[in-house]
Amino acid sequence: MSENKETKENKKAKGEAKAEKPKAPKATFKPIKIQLRQRYNSEIAPALMKELGLKGRMQVPTLKKVMINLSTNQAVTNPKVLNTAVDEITAITGQKAVITKAKKSISNFKLREGMPIGVMVTLRKEKMWSFLERLIHFSLPRVRDFRGLSPRGFDGRGNYNMGLKEQIIFPEIDYDRVEHVRGMNITICTSAANDNQGRALLEALGMPFRKR
């Protein structure tokens, strides 16, 4: 009886000690701070206002959105390749990509209206700034024989279009698991009034244009 009583007391003491053990604090997740956006607000925007001779901060050009489009003729005969393309663009941008469909039929390419033909994603706010920062500092330097971006990609309204031949330049893509090398088109939309302002903005952000 004494042994049983002692055993119960020991269990009770252990239980109280366990109950008194302080709980671990809950993990708190803070939003990732995009350095490029911080630099724009604190350094780049004031410098652009002075460089472009603008009267107010609201006139300073800024980024509006970034669109990534990928089309492949393989989807005509094998629509399943778009599932892989969706996964790759989603990994690259951090946002779910959507499948795009043909707007008209082209008989020479065996393409019918409404047929899935590519994928796209539109980035805004934090994801836009994050993607552009990674593109400038990590992805573009990995392009083979890279000599800078063409300055001819502007559309006359301050927006810039560029093409990439390989998705494997993005660190998010596992080269060993890539089935096909695919290119993509990237459109950077700005609030610039003209191409000169658009280029000044992108150069200030670090876009490596070729010298004229």
Q: Within a 13 Å sphere around the CA of 46, how many CA atoms are in the beta-carbon half?
A: 5
Alpha carbons 201 and 82: distance in angstroms, whole number: 34
pTM above 0.85, yes or no: no
For residue 123, the model assigns a pLDDT of 96
Per-residue pLDDT of the chain (212 residues; tens, 9 = 90+): 445 555 555 555 555 544 444 443 343 333 345 689 999 999 999 999 999 999 888 999 999 999 999 887 776 666 677 888 888 899 999 999 988 877 666 665 565 666 667 889 999 999 999 999 999 999 998 888 888 899 999 999 999 999 999 888 898 888 778 778 888 999 999 999 999 999 999 999 999 998 76
